[in-house]
Amino acid sequence: MRSPRDFYKPLAVGAPEPLREIPFPPSRMIHFFDASNEKMVARLPDTIAKADIVLGNLEDAVPVDRKEAARDGLVKVGKTIDLGDTQLWTRVNSLESPWFLDDLTTLVSEIGDVLDVVMVPKIEGPWDIHYVDRLLAQLEARAGLTKPLLVHALLETAQGVAHVEEIAAASPRMQGMSFGPADLAASRRMKTTRVGGGHPGYLSMSDPDPDNPDAPRITAQQDPWHYSIARMVDACTMNGLLPFYGPFGDIKDVAACEAQFRAAFLLGCVGSWSLHPVQIDIAKKVFSPDPAEVLFAKKVIEAIPDGRGVHMIDGKMQDDATWKQCKVMVDLAEQLAAKDPALAEAYGFESSAA
């Protein structure tokens, strides 16, 4: 392990200084597009206006014969499209693939100044981050970049989950993590063909009624991802990183998508992925806090400005800890209100958005 004194030193001569704090602009959805798909690129100005983050995907879902077209298309997007305050990310191919080296070299050299975050799939341990960290520093130095690129790890193997805390602490470049339920299910030999969401077979069942043993018993579907997402949230938060839920593959099932996103939001994730335009709106709804909760949180903070002591507000006990919960809610609401006049109005804030 590097000396703690060296943690914030650039890993190559001429590379920019690592950031001390991870930026946290609105990050409710990472919208995936394939830059080799003409229809998706044509829609980009509209997508950029709606999404907090757009991500040019180079990995899975991009066919092998379009890998280079997707990379070149993303370079063109970075050079020609006005992104406003929407972030531009990429998901590069995995470290063992024949494309990773060219993905990173091309993107950093050509559009390193407009890319915010590089998502790296199938991260298994801190050693993967160390490799990407040094390579990025060399490429940044060669390209003369002044702002460091940040790294987002995709947690989608059993090894990755087992090493999640070490991955989160592996580099000051670590911006956050997303959860990859499809590859993770395969890696664990889970018996599901779904991309995220629950499963009707994963449930708990009430005991039989002793007086009526043949009566139907109550069952409740459980969340098979709860343990891993909660671990990811803790690993990210303890290192100042941002945790995201990943994809929800059943595009038509908007209700289940909303339920999965909301469960992740309540556990501490700041956003999720959107694979289709319809999921941008779901993520916006779910990852913007409920106005009623924000108004209540504002009431608590106004009633107890210093957050000390114990108080009753609307019949509910409030103390230092609940004040902090309210602060999390109001800080997020303020951040989103600055971007979105409709939310500003719902939350009762002045909006600074145009």
Ligand X SMILES: CC(C)(COP(=O)(O)OP(=O)(O)OC[C@H]1O[C@@H](n2cnc3c(N)ncnc32)[C@H](O)[C@@H]1OP(=O)(O)O)[C@@H](O)C(=O)NCCC(=O)NCCSC(=O)C[C@](C)(O)C(=O)O
Q: Does 183 bind Mg ion (CB under 5 A)?
A: yes
Q: Does 124 bind Mg ion (CB under 5 A)?
A: no
**Interatomic CA distance for residues 270 and 232, integer angstroms:** 12
Q: Please state, in angstroms and as integers, the Cα–Cα distance from residue 167 to each residue in 96, 127, 156, 208, following that order.
A: 18, 8, 13, 45
Q: Which is nearer to ligand X, 31 or 163 (CB)?
A: 31
Q: Does 156 bind ligand X (CB under 6 A)?
A: yes
**Interatomic CA distance for residues 136 and 302, integer angstroms:** 46
By C-alpha distance, which of 263, 267, 283, 268 is closest to 336?
A: 283
H or E element at residue 296: helix 291-303
Q: Which is nearer to ligand X, 33 or 347 (CB)?
A: 33
Q: Please state, in angstroms and as integers, the Cα–Cα distance from residue 111 to each residue in 27, 32, 192, following that order.
A: 21, 18, 38
Considering the complex, what minimum distance in angstroms separates the CB of residue 281 from ligand X? 13
Q: Does 253 bind ligand X (CB under 6 A)?
A: no
Q: Which of 16, 22, 60, 125 binds ligand X (CB under 6 A)?
A: 60
Q: What single letter denotes the amino acid at residue 157?
A: T
Count the site residues for ligand X by CB under 6 A: 21
**Of 35-54, which residues contact ligand X (CB under 6 A)?**
39-40, 43, 47
Mutual angle of helices 277-287 and 254-267, in 10-degree steps:
40
Interface map 77-116 toward ligand X (x if CB under 6 A): ----------------------------------------
Q: Which of 180, 181, 197, 271 binds Mg ion (CB under 5 A)?
A: 180
> Is 91 labelled a binding residue?
yes
DSSP track, 17-36: PPPSS------SEEEEE-TT
Q: Which of 275, 283, 326, 336 binds ligand X (CB under 6 A)?
A: 275
> Is 20 labelled a binding residue?
no
Q: Does 158 bind ligand X (CB under 6 A)?
A: no
Displacement of CA 69 from its chain's centroid (Å): 26
Beta bridge partners of 89: 55, 117
Q: Does 73 bind ligand X (CB under 6 A)?
A: no
- Residues at the interface with Mg ion (CB under 5 A): 156, 180, 183
- Residues at the interface with ligand X (CB under 6 A): 32-33, 39-40, 43, 47, 57, 60-61, 156, 180-183, 195, 246-247, 251, 275-277
